[in-house]
Amino acid sequence: MKILVPIKRVPDSDTRIRVKPDGSGIVTDGVKFSLNPFDAIALEEALRIRERLGAAEVLAVTLGGEDSIEQLRTGLAMGADRALLVRTPGPLDSLAVARILAALVRKESPDLVLLGKQAIDDDSNQVGQMLGGMLGLPQATFVSKLEFQPDGRSVRCGRETDAGIETLGVRLPAVITADLRLNEPRYVSLPGIMKAKKRPIEELSPEALGVTAASRTRVLRLEAPAGRKAGVRLRTVEELVARLRDGAGLT
Amino acid sequence: MKRTLVIAELDHGVLKPCTHAAVAAARRAAELAGGTFEILLLGPGAGTASGALLNFGAAALHVAEHPELAEPLADRYAVAVAHVARGRGTDFLIAAASTFSKDLLPRVAGLLDAGMLSDVVEIGADSSGPLFKRVLHAGNAIATVILEGPVRVATLRAAAFPPAPRLESTAPVLAVDLSGLAWPDGTSFVARDRKTSARPDATEARIVVSGGRGIKTSEDFERLVGGLADALGGAVGSSRALVDAGITANSLQIGQTGKVVAPDLYIAVGISGAIQHIAGMKDTKVIVAINKDPDAPIFEVADLGLVADVYQAVPEMIERLQRR
Ligand SMILES: Cc1cc2nc3c(=O)[nH]c(=O)nc-3n(C[C@H](O)[C@H](O)[C@H](O)COP(=O)(O)OP(=O)(O)OC[C@H]3O[C@@H](n4cnc5c(N)ncnc54)[C@H](O)[C@@H]3O)c2cc1C
């Protein structure tokens, strides 16, 4: 069993994101970067599958530059067997990421691709599904429960949908994206990180995979959303109900 | 965007209201590009549901009913959508953002090798072509984006596109020929754990009452948050904390990774106001916050704030609202 887990470096979920005054991007000075929380969950699930099955290879891969190696090290410290950096210039959109991953899947032939359902920076929620479409692989998105079937060749997934939990049977190889409640990722210790520093990081380029990293979306500028006006504090429930009765400014 | 295709969303044969937002966005795109738009309805009951979309300016309604489409499995639906898009020469595919469309449309984009934008809130144009605005970074940034290529795909926030008015003309309804398609069989539907509720869905309600960790048990949630929602005729929602604690169902989660709502009134009951939660409700017209901590960040976005214990304040609110 081989499990491929694509991961992404993103601003930590605890940072307050601010848009640069010139709109060219977000302020990154002093911002802490982390492994995208959903990707940590996907990786954790891959590690648990390995623990359950006894034998499996977990390959963490990221697309990006030098700084993304930090997140690969986190992946190794969590327990990934291999870490791979596909060096890409500048930001890529989901389609470009999916194309590169599709080429990597053809090369590595994993039984399962486990991804986070969305990256908390661009909030796109696309890569897993695009990859599934490109490769014609079965897909289950927003998965909060994953169980291997006795045959070992299929899984049962609980998906979080707007209407409630949907359960699907999914034949491997497949693409599965993780939702928040799938698991709670293990804590990575400092000694673990130190040990991971000595492990090798494999490297590839899109060219070596036979793909060009061309994005179809281009961000022209960013702006901060309109702020909300400061409101009023009421002292009693009576006042609040009176305001609601008045329509609370509703028309 | 000369030939736009709207993917309608059905819930067991019933048209979901958010489809009207997608139709409004399609009308806007068609206007900007001097083109037309069509609507595709998939699954059981699609033919009947098409009746609700006859008079909104679509050039045609396409109905795809087939035993393989009995459940909304992305693998199979994507094959049908890509088939129609190719056959119709579609250059822009859109749907209202939901777990249905977020599952399906990126897969279609993968099949069509198309670029895609999620959570679009504005469709415009400049001399060089169409421009889109979308929300990212948990609502902390809005990007103006160009989307290139022969086919474009987008999901859009329903609240940003008010339904378009009805027109005189009636669209023809056409059955999609799905014979000869190779259906993927790698996924199979097992079950759906439907949360049946007499209350409206939070994304479709004018009033949403939402509970957070200030609520201790499911019974309290039902009595306080449910009770207040019922007194106001509204829907219920919740923070992630309550879903994680097993107090509320995942389908109630509001936020960056849950549902995004923009009602007239949102009452946050015992919710601290983490950015991930605010991302899902800050386009509400009037936000009310009830929290015992005067420094809770939710008060920074609230129009009306009450520093109080929800266990005391909410029962009193319900009682006063019922007094009329
Ligand atoms: C990647 C990621 C995605 C996330 N996505 C979401 C999302 O989509 N939606 C979401 O909601 N969260 C999301 N979160 C979680 C978010 O960061 C917060 O942890 C969560 O919103 C907190 O929920 P809460 O406000 O109910 O709980 P807390 O933050 O614990 O707040 C509870 C509040 O209740 C008040 N309180 C307690 N008791 C009482 C009482 N008796 N009377 C009055 N007030 C009381 C407290 O003062 C406090 O302000 C996400 C987090 C991450 C990392």
DSSP string, A24-57: SSB--TT--EEE-HHHHHHHHHHHHHHHHHS--E
Q: Do B304 and A234 touch (CB under 8 A)?
A: yes
The complex's ipTM works out to 0.96
* Pair of tokens at residue A22: 């010139």
Q: Residue B130's closest CA among B57, B35, B13, B65?
A: B35
The answer to whether residues B116 and B228 belong to one domain is no
Q: How far apart are CA B84 and CA B109, in angstroms?
A: 13
Domain limits for position B233: 207-323
Which three-class secondary structure state does DSSP give residue B205? coil
CATH number of the domain at A146, please.
Answer: 3.40.50.620
Assess whether pLDDT exceeds 60 at residue A251. no
Mind telling me how many Å the CA of A182 is from chain B's nearest CA? 11
How many domains in chain B?
Answer: 2
The answer to whether residues B154 and B229 belong to one domain is no
Report yes or no on B187 lying in a domain.
Answer: no
Which three-class secondary structure state does DSSP give residue B203? helix
- pLDDT tens for the 324 residues of chain B, in order: 899 999 999 998 999 999 999 999 999 999 999 999 999 999 999 999 999 999 999 999 999 999 999 999 999 999 999 999 999 999 999 999 999 999 999 999 999 999 999 999 999 998 888 999 999 999 999 999 999 999 999 999 999 999 999 999 999 999 999 999 999 999 999 999 877 778 999 999 999 999 999 999 999 999 999 999 999 999 999 999 999 999 999 999 999 999 999 999 999 999 999 999 999 999 999 999 999 999 999 999 999 999 999 999 999 999 999 986
Report yes or no on B198 lying in a domain.
Answer: no
Q: Do B99 and A95 touch (CB under 8 A)?
A: no
Report yes or no on A193 lying in a domain.
Answer: yes
Report yes or no on B184 lying in a domain.
Answer: no
The answer to whether residues B169 and B313 belong to one domain is no
Residue-wise pLDDT for A77-117, tens only, equals 999 999 999 999 888 999 999 999 999 999 999 999 999 99
The answer to whether residues B230 and B171 belong to one domain is no
Instruction: Tell me how far CA of residue A239 lies from CA of A126, A244, B23, B290, in angstroms.
Output: 46, 9, 41, 13
Report yes or no on B146 lying in a domain.
Answer: yes
* Pair of tokens at residue A80: 């990934």
Q: What is the dihedral of CA B84, B192, A156, A47, to 10 degrees?
A: 100
A238 interaction partners in chain B (CB closer than 8 Å): 320
Assess whether pLDDT exceeds 70 at residue A118. yes
Closest atom of ligand 1 to B255 CA is 8
The answer to whether residues B287 and B147 belong to one domain is no
Q: How far apart are CA A41 and CA A176, in angstroms?
A: 12
Closest atom of ligand 1 to B212 CA is 26
Report yes or no on A244 lying in a domain.
Answer: no
User: Cis before residue B17, ω within 30 degrees of 0?
Assistant: no
Beta strands in chain B (DSSP E): 3-7, 10-11, 14-15, 36-42, 60-64, 92-96, 115-126, 129-136, 141-147, 152-156, 173-175, 187-194, 207-211, 235-238, 265-269, 286-291, 304-307
One-letter amino acid of B10? L
Report yes or no on B192 lying in a domain.
Answer: no
With residue B277 as reference, give the H or E element that holds it.
helix B275-278
Report yes or no on B249 lying in a domain.
Answer: yes
Residue whose pair of structure tokens reads 């700084």 in the numeric block? A67
With residue B49 as reference, give the H or E element that holds it.
helix B46-49
Residues whose CB falls within 8 Å of the CB of residue A67, separated by 6 or more in sequence, listed in order: A9, A33
Give yes or no for residue B215 CB within 6 A of ligand 1: no
B138 interaction partners in chain A (CB closer than 8 Å): 17, 120, 123
Q: Residue B293's closest CA among B210, B237, B212?
A: B212
Report yes or no on A235 lying in a domain.
Answer: no
Residue to mutate, B136, B215, B239, B316, ligand 1, most ligand atoms under 8 Å from C-beta: B239
Q: Closest residue (by CA) to atom 50 of ligand 1?
A: B276
Please tell me the total number of residues recorded for chain A in this structure: 251
Scored b (16 or more CB within 10 A) or e, B228-256 reads bbbbbebbbbbbbbbbeeebbbbbbbbbb
Q: How far apart are CA B236 and CA A112, in angstroms?
A: 37
Q: How far apart are CA B110 and CA B151, in angstroms?
A: 11
Q: How far apart are CA B218 and CA B231, in angstroms?
A: 18
Give yes or no for residue B316 CB within 6 A of ligand 1: no
Q: What is the DSSP string of A151-201?
A: TSSEEEEEEEETTEEEEEEEESSEEEEE-GGG--PPPPPHHHHHHHHTS--
Predicted confidence band of residue A209 (pLDDT cuts 50, 70, 90): very high
pTM of the model: 0.95
Report yes or no on A230 lying in a domain.
Answer: no
Domain limits for position A40: 2-224
The answer to whether residues B258 and B304 belong to one domain is yes
pLDDT for the residue numbered A163: 87
One-letter amino acid of B35? G
A37 interaction partners in chain B (CB closer than 8 Å): none
Q: Residue B51's closest CA among B59, B64, B61?
A: B61
B144 interaction partners in chain A (CB closer than 8 Å): 219-223
Q: Residue B23's closest CA among B57, B72, B64?
A: B57
Residue to mutate, B250, B276, B290, ligand 1, most ligand atoms under 8 Å from C-beta: B276
The answer to whether residues B238 and B155 belong to one domain is no
One-letter amino acid of B204? E
Q: How far apart are CA B157 and CA B118, in angstroms?
A: 9
Q: Do A138 and B186 touch (CB under 8 A)?
A: yes
Report yes or no on B202 lying in a domain.
Answer: no
The answer to whether residues B227 and B318 belong to one domain is yes
Please measure the distance between the N-terminal and C-terminal CA atoms of chain A and give it in whole angstroms: 60
Mind telling me how many Å the CA of B172 is from chain A's nearest CA? 31
**Strand A139-148 relative to strand A154-161: parallel, antiparallel, unpaired?**
antiparallel
Q: How far apart are CA A3 and CA A173, in angstroms?
A: 10
The answer to whether residues B153 and B18 belong to one domain is yes
Which three-class secondary structure state does DSSP give residue A77? helix
The answer to whether residues B127 and B211 belong to one domain is no
How many domains in chain A?
Answer: 1
One-letter amino acid of B261? V
Report yes or no on A247 lying in a domain.
Answer: no
B292: DSSP letter: S
pLDDT (average), residues A21-30: 95
The answer to whether residues B132 and B85 belong to one domain is yes
Q: Do A129 and B106 touch (CB under 8 A)?
A: yes
CATH number of the domain at B9, please.
Answer: 3.40.50.620
Residue whose pair of structure tokens reads 């290139």 in the numeric block? B148
